[in-house]
Amino acid sequence: MDNTGKGLLAFLAGVSLGVIAGLLIAPESGADTQGRISRKAREFGDDLGHQADQGRQKINDVADRISKKASGMMS
């Protein structure tokens, strides 16, 4: 076997060992990982909704101030 073949074989063996080691020492099951991702996505969505509500409130406050100033200028 030439050097290229030996290098490829070593690479594939290393990848295989890495995958096996990863599966053996994985901190949680697939279902647990999916649950964690789902919870985090839900939390992110809730936070995003909260931030959007705050942004809308600030925009409404600014619009009210501008409207009051404009009314005062017209009087």
Confidence of residue 2 (pLDDT cuts 50, 70, 90): low
**What distance in Å separates the CA atoms of residue 53 and residue 28, rounded to the nearest whole number?**
36
Inter-CA distances, 65 with 23, 34, 69, Å: 60, 47, 6
The per-residue pLDDT for 57 is 94
The per-residue pLDDT for 61 is 95
Which of the 8 DSSP states describes residue 28? S
Which of the 8 DSSP states describes residue 29? -
pTM: 0.50
Please, which residues have CB within 8 angstroms of residue 9's CB and are 6 or more apart in sequence?
1
Q: Summarize pLDDT for 15-69 with one digit per residue, the tens.
A: 888 887 877 777 777 788 788 888 888 998 898 889 999 999 999 999 999 999 9
Higher pLDDT, 1 or 70: 70
